[in-house]
Amino acid sequence: MSKKLIDFVAKHFADEVLDSHSRLGNDTVVLKRDRLPEIVERLRDDESTAMNMLRAITSVDYLNRIPRFEVVYVLYSISKKHMLTLRVVVEEEDCTAPSIHHLYGAAGWMEREVWDMYGVEFDGHPDLRRVLLYEEFEGHPLRKDYAKQASQPRLDLLVRERDSVEEFNVFYKSKPSEGSRDS
């Protein structure tokens, strides 16, 4: 509500700020991406802000806009009870952002989820792999150009692990019934 946090960021890192607003009660600052860890560290350690809790890291895909992605960080201070949203602009060709895993332990899995869903790589993250989907998944599903009904390639099963459904298909494909898709 008060613009105290926006003023703090604007005062110390004026040339990183692209935009800021306070609509709907959320203080938001739009930033360039390069000095983000420094800004977040300053926000965490300074006594006047003391933002010791990282609430969420997520990403938004604005498909028809250049730059395409924005990575959103929501910070909160338990003692001072104020919240700040940082939006970092990321381009499609250079889809990376700096990692803040050394500042907050929670950032580890949150950044993995953004990589999983949007394909934004985080520089410096020690273990960047998929968290919600399986490793062999192709593509990044929450991007707007990933169709909801897109199917994934079938993984090769070892002969020993063939399940009953596959056996059924193999057996009945050789003599499909009348009018079925395979006849």
Partner 1 sequence: MAEDIYQPLDQDIHTEPMILQMGPSHPATHGTVRFTLTLDGEKVIKCDTEVGYLHRGFEKECENSTWTQVFPYTDRLNYVSPLLNNFGYALAVERLLEIEVPERCNWIRTIMGEISRLSDHLTCVGAGGLELGAMTAFLYALEGRELVWDLIEEVTGARLTVSYGRIGGVKDDLTEDFADRWAYTRGRLQEIHANTHKLLTRNRIFLDRMQGTGVLTPEMGISYGYTGPVLRSTGVDYDVRKDHPYFMYGEVDFDVPVGDTGDNYDRYLVRMEEITQSIRIIDQCLERMEPGPVNSDDPRVVLPEKEKVYNSIEGMINHFKIIFEGIQVPPGEVYSYTEAGNGELGFYIVSNGTGKPWKIHVRSPSLIMMGGLHHLIEGGLLADIIPTFDTINMIGGECDK
- Shortest separation between residue 88's beta carbon and partner 1, angstroms: 14
Within 13 Å, how many C-alpha atoms sit on residue 168's CB side?
Answer: 3
**Angstrom distances, CA of residue 49 to CA of 12, 32, 42, 133, 140:** 13, 21, 9, 36, 35
46 in Cβ contact with 63 (< 8 Å) = no
Binding site for partner 1 (CB under 8 A): 23-26, 28, 52-56, 58, 60-61, 72, 74, 78, 81, 83, 85, 104-106, 108-110, 113, 117, 130-134, 141-142, 146, 148
- Shortest separation between residue 111's beta carbon and partner 1, angstroms: 10
- Shortest separation between residue 61's beta carbon and partner 1, angstroms: 7
User: What is d(CA 68, CA 118) in angstroms, rounded to the nearest whole number?
Assistant: 11
- Shortest separation between residue 66's beta carbon and partner 1, angstroms: 16
- Shortest separation between residue 177's beta carbon and partner 1, angstroms: 32
Q: What are phi and psi of 3, to 5 degrees?
A: -90, 25
Could you tell me which residues come within 8 angstroms of residue 3 by beta carbon, excluding any fewer than 6 positions away? Answer: 22, 27
Q: Which is nearer to partner 1, 56 or 157 (CB)?
A: 56
User: What is d(CA 22, CA 6) in angstroms, rounded to the nearest whole number?
Assistant: 9
- Shortest separation between residue 81's beta carbon and partner 1, angstroms: 6
Q: Which is nearer to partner 1, 42 or 130 (CB)?
A: 130
User: What is d(CA 57, CA 50) in angstroms, rounded to the nearest whole number?
Assistant: 18
Q: Which is nearer to partner 1, 14 or 158 (CB)?
A: 158
Q: Which is nearer to partner 1, 18 or 132 (CB)?
A: 132
Q: Which is nearer to partner 1, 74 or 95 (CB)?
A: 74
- What does the DSSP 8-state code read for residue 62? -
Q: Which is nearer to partner 1, 13 or 59 (CB)?
A: 59
Q: How many other C-beta atoms are found inside a 10 Å radius of the C-beta of residue 169?
A: 11
